[in-house]
Amino acid sequence: MPSMAVIGGTGLTQWPELELKDTVSHETVYGNPSAPITIAKLGNVEVAFLARHGCPHQFAPHRINYRANIAALKKLGVNQIFAVNAVGSICSEIPPESIVIPDQVIDYTYGREHTFFPGDDQPVHHIDFTEPFSPNLRDRLLQTAQDIQLSVKTKAVYGCTQGPRLETVAEINRLERDGVDIVGMTAMPEAALAREMEMDYASIALVVNMAAGRSSGIITMDEIELALAKGMQNVKRLLLATLNR
């Protein structure tokens, strides 16, 4: 079984380039994952692929069963996760279609099942979260990007909001004051749950729009979908090269 997994976000619910070997649906004590897990070859390596929002895309960020997703991958034997996240940018130097490898996160979500150890049937477990994204996986991504001459943003603070709506200008101004560079809706509690399961986890964040108040007009799905279509090709290129290092 594969030791590495890719969690695909918006714009990567399917990956035709994967050489399909098997499809498994691991029910967990937390319920079913968002979609059946695809076991496939990508280049010379075997990987597990899971569509975070379902396939087809059906689960809003706050309705994703993050615990079932991570538990199912753990049950499969996965210990390294490369997560793809679509994000908005607060910084003018990180325009749409940019790829960002964040190193920090601020969690603004609420009401999500965010731990495997709530203190009921499982004793409370305090994880160290000083570096929320695995330094080992981040280094591999950054080295690979350099090797294939792909420009990426090497550090950023990911602000994770509740969704599914986008943010107001005032909210984005607040996030900027907090030190946030990019804003998305899915890195948390995913990253923390992976840490609880002792799985390495890194994010490949694709910028698909400028955040509210940072562009000349309103944010449209047309511009987001265009940035997804163009930028996701480079995300796939980075993943293929990294997984086959």
- pLDDT tens profile 42-54: 888 999 999 999 8
pTM: 0.93
Q: Is 221 annotated as a binding residue?
A: no
Q: Is 186 annotated as a binding residue?
A: yes
pLDDT tens column, 30-42: 999 999 999 988 8
pLDDT tens column, 132-183: 999 999 999 999 999 999 999 999 999 999 999 999 999 999 999 999 999 9
Helix axes 221-243, 135-147, angle to 10 degrees: 90
CA distance 234 to 145: 10
Q: Is 209 annotated as a binding residue?
A: yes
Sketch out the chain's domains with CATH numbers: 4-243 (3.40.50.1580)
The residue among 13 and 174 whose pLDDT is bigger is 174
> Radius of gyration over alpha carbons of the chain, in Å?
17
What does the mean pLDDT of the chain come to?
A: 92
What would the mean pLDDT of 196-217 be, rounded to a whole number? 94
Specify the amino acid at residue 72: A
Q: Is 210 annotated as a binding residue?
A: yes
CA distance 51 to 60: 12
